[in-house]
Structure 1
Amino acid sequence: MTDTPPEHARHERYLRDLSQASESTELDLIRTVLADPDQVMAVSAVLTHIDRCAGGLDEAQFEAWSAPVTALAGHHDPLLRRIRDWTRLKAMDAGRPVDTADLATAGDWLQRAAAETTTSLEALAVLAAHGRTRRVRNAAQVRAKRLGGV
């Protein structure tokens, strides 16, 4: 017999099922997960799925993939925020101009992700100067130097 709480077991099952979902079954599965009575667990599973999928998509692919997921996210603010953050991160990496005020006041996840992964020297300069935490400022400065910026 296992001591794993049922919501933990469902979370693991949802993550496994989402990782194996086909394009034709993915949205129905997200809908099913978001209908789970444990909303904290359900949102966590879908958030992890968003991160897993977004990392491997370019800006155009992410835009196409995220549109129906955004519709399903409905009133789940953490999901909507993460999709917006990924959209902003993808735009930075595609070379779009950085809204410096927006990036300087962005949430911790976006700032941390951008400082660790973006290739936008403009974004890294903003984060090195105005990142919310010392960790973000330092990571942005180190990454900018590695990419040949100042």
Structure 2
Amino acid sequence: MNHDTPQQEEPDEHLRFWNYLSELEQVAQADEVDLVSGVLTDPVQAMAQSAVLRHLDRQAADLHCGPDYESWAEKMTQATTRYPFLTQRLHEWSLFRAATLRQPWRPDALLDSSNWLQLKTAEASNAAALEILADGGRTKRIRNTARINLKKQSQR
């Protein structure tokens, strides 16, 4: 009697997801918009948008403090314009960038932003943003994180 069970194969969308992540990690800047646009044509939209979101987060984390961020964000916003969640994430990265670099930004935009951005900002930002989140952050975790980091900044 054979007790071996057939190996379960990864569903196609899982393989495509990992392939997309690999391609997005290695894409040349000149080909990035075309690749992002191509990934977003995948019939499994949740998977495709998840792969692109990871790429946007990775790239934005690398670029947000530098001079190349704005042109990159503009290109990516054009490539993702039909995908509200992705364009919102890019908008929030731009808000995070503005707060981090002490550029003009609106407190109400921060208070209206997602939990993701509020927590990211509470973990690493300037005192003005931390004060706003310590008082008006959406969750207790965001408010506490902002208070702790505000206290750390004042002790420096």
Q: TM-score, normalised by structure 1?
A: 0.92
1:37 and 2:43 equivalent?
yes
1:84 and 2:91 equivalent?
yes
Name the residue aligned to 2:70. 63
Name the residue aligned to 1:138. 144
Q: Structure 1 stretches of 5 or more lacking a match?
A: none
For 1:55, the aligned partner's letter is A
SS in 2 for 1:60: coil
1:114 and 2:117 equivalent?
no
For 1:46, the aligned partner's letter is V
Larger Rg: 1 or 2?
Answer: 2
CA contact under 8 A between 1:30 and 1:46: conserved in structure 2?
A: yes
- Residue 51 of structure 1, CA deviation: 0.3
Ranges of 4+ aligned residues in structure 1 off by more than 2 Å? none
Name the residue aligned to 1:12. 18
CA contact under 8 A between 1:98 and 1:123: conserved in structure 2?
A: no
1:95 and 2:102 equivalent?
yes
SS in 2 for 1:106: coil
How many Å separate the matches in 1 of 2:148 and 2:105?
19
- Residue 59 of structure 1, CA deviation: 5.2
Which segment drifts farther, 58-67 or 81-90?
A: 58-67
How many Å separate the matches in 1 of 2:30 and 2:113?
34
- Residue 117 of structure 1, CA deviation: 2.1
**What is the root-mean-square deviation in Å for CA atoms of aligned residues?**
1.4
For 1:136, the aligned partner's letter is I
CA contact under 8 A between 1:89 and 1:110: conserved in structure 2?
A: yes
CA contact under 8 A between 1:98 and 1:122: conserved in structure 2?
A: no
The CA deviation string for residues 54-74 of structure 1, in whole angstroms up to 9 with x for no partner, is 001125321111111111102
Name the residue aligned to 2:3. none
How many Å separate the matches in 2 of 1:46 and 1:25?
14
How many Å separate the matches in 2 of 1:20 and 1:117?
28
How many Å separate the matches in 2 of 1:72 and 1:2?
35
How many Å separate the matches in 1 of 2:24 and 2:90?
17
